[in-house]
Amino acid sequence: MKNRNLNYALFFALFILLPSIAWAEGEKPKENPAPEKAEVTDEESTRFTPSEDQPHRAGETHNQTGTIERGSPGDAVFRPPHEGHSVVTDSDVKVWVSGYLRSQYSHIMDDPDETDFVGRYDGFQMANARLRFKGKSKDFWFMLSLDGAVDRRDSVNTSTGETIVRLKDAYVSWRPHDALHISTGQIRTPFDAYDMTSTSDLLFISRPLSSRGVKGVEGYNVEGLGTGREVGLGINSEPLHLGFVPVSFSYNLAVTNGNNANASLNDNDALAFYGRLEMYVGEWLSLGGSVYSNEITYNEPPDELTEDRFGYSADIMFRSHNFLLIGQYIQVQSKFGDVSTEPERVARGYNAAVAYHLPYGLIPGYRFSYYDPTAEFETNDPTLNEQLLADELMYHTMGLTWVAPASPFKLQLNYTMAQEPGGAVRVANDRADVVVQYRF
């Protein structure tokens, strides 16, 4: 109880303090307008990128990741896209540099009666140290991004690990038309809408429970249903308008190896297939649907185990003035053909979030997340049956975000109440998180 009270006190103290800071920043006296700049010489003008050479053309709203921002379920809908900074080159290649830093503090309740690793390592950590290079030459584009603060655990349900540097995006695109973009390399897979949203634009500190699962020392580790990045080929489009009707569509297809990012080879000789369709109604509604099929191989011969996965998801984002509503349903079916005793199972999750943009850049929000990794299954083992029937998870997250006006600074506070309604495990692992972000 003492630990829980400390958790509550930390979060609510910051929750009260943050609006005060935002109000103070918003009440600063306006500065006198700067004098008009002197005429720029020809030599000075070469240091700047003309507006027509910015990373987006008329009608496009690309964010830092190259994805279409208007359909992203994050706080980016409340602010203009971040383009990055142009770099002068000696060729016709135009390059933009961007990135962000995220420093995080986490306080997780510990439950010594249940585990010896959950909530016993509270403190600071580097959540992200992202650096991106994006460039173009005529109809050809490239994206290269690295993260210097990737949390790599030695195994599941452990506190031991290290922070490493990993490749994130690395692809080349040919974009001859708004209706045809072809990319090859390490790309984002078009399945989970949250995986297609930049971490720097998330409405809450982390992606929903069903997308990311349970990681690190947050609780008993569970794999999420998001597919992240993979190496392969992608074909997609910008929003395509239908005449004078305020409705537009975009598509996103991909063929990939089907295993995790940064893997040097495919895990078998089969490929994964992804498809996603999005519809936009004006600026206030976006609908998305995705499917994918993948064959995954674990272990080495002769102990190989093959899993066939088929997943689908649907998502909605509704915006009216300063109000935002986001919802998603996601399901993945798994079949193990090599082991007759291994159960077939269906993992299912859904989440809904609401947020409101207040003055001074404050965005309070609430998110409900539900995830059952074995919502449906087939097994003849009574002990396993009992465990799988009661392993669902339910998270309630209350958040407050401050996007500093006219500034690359963002501060986020989240408090998550974790529940295990099935009762297979009972872990007291409520958590409070604070993230300071600076985007450049």
Question: Mean pLDDT, consecutive 10-residue segments, the chain of 440 residues?
Answer: 59 65 57 45 34 36 36 62 69 90 93 78 93 94 96 74 92 96 97 94 96 89 94 96 87 96 90 97 94 92 87 96 95 83 85 95 96 84 68 95 91 95 78 96
| Cα(432)–Cα(376) distance, integer angstroms | 32
Residue 399 domain-assigned?
A: yes
Identify whether the C-beta of residue 166 lies closer than 8 Å to the C-beta of residue 147. yes
Q: What is the pLDDT of residue 81?
A: 60
pTM attached to this predicted model: 0.84
Residue 15: what pLDDT?
66
Q: Is residue 46 part of a domain?
A: no
Residue 213 in any domain: the answer is yes
Q: What is the pLDDT of residue 63?
A: 36
Q: Give the span between the Cα atoms of 151 and 129, in whole angstroms.
A: 11
CATH number of the domain encompassing residue 216: 2.40.160.10
Q: Name the residue range of residue 157's domain.
A: 2-15+51-439
137: CB partners within 8 A, 6+ apart: 91, 92, 93, 94
Tell me which residue has tokens 């005449």. 243
Q: Tell me how far apart the alpha carbons of residues 56 and 81 are, in angstroms, rounded to a whole number.
A: 10
Query: Is residue 158, in this structure, part of any structural domain at all?
Result: yes
CB burial string 328-346: b at 16+ within 10 A, e below: bbbbbbbebeeeeeebebb
| Total structural domains within the chain | 1
338 found inside a domain: yes
- Residue 392's Cα: distance from chain center in Å? 22
Residue 40 lies in a domain: no
Output the pLDDT for position 35.
46
Instruction: Assess if residue 24 is contained within a domain.
Output: no
Q: Examine residue 191 and state whether it is found in any structural domain, yes or no.
A: yes
